[in-house]
Amino acid sequence: MWFLILLVILAAAGLAYAFRVPLLAKILGQPEDRISRALNKKR
């Protein structure tokens, strides 16, 4: 049972990473292009 829970958590984390720009834009209320520029900015 714990394996199934771990698998669901990993799948959710992978989806959140794949869709991080639209998710952050929705959560923060900022435009998607602003979020993607901030994430892709060279450090």
Report which of 27, 1, 5, 43 is spatially closest to residue 35, judged by C-alpha positions.
Answer: 27
Are 4 and 11 within 8 A, CB to CB?
no
Report which of 16, 1, 14, 26 is spatially closest to residue 35, judged by C-alpha positions.
Answer: 26
Instruction: Write out pLDDT tens, residues 2-43.
Output: 999 999 999 999 999 999 999 999 999 999 999 999 988 876
Query: Structure pTM?
Result: 0.65
pLDDT confidence of residue 41? 84
pLDDT confidence of residue 43? 66
Residue-wise DSSP of 19-33: THHHHHHHHHT--HH
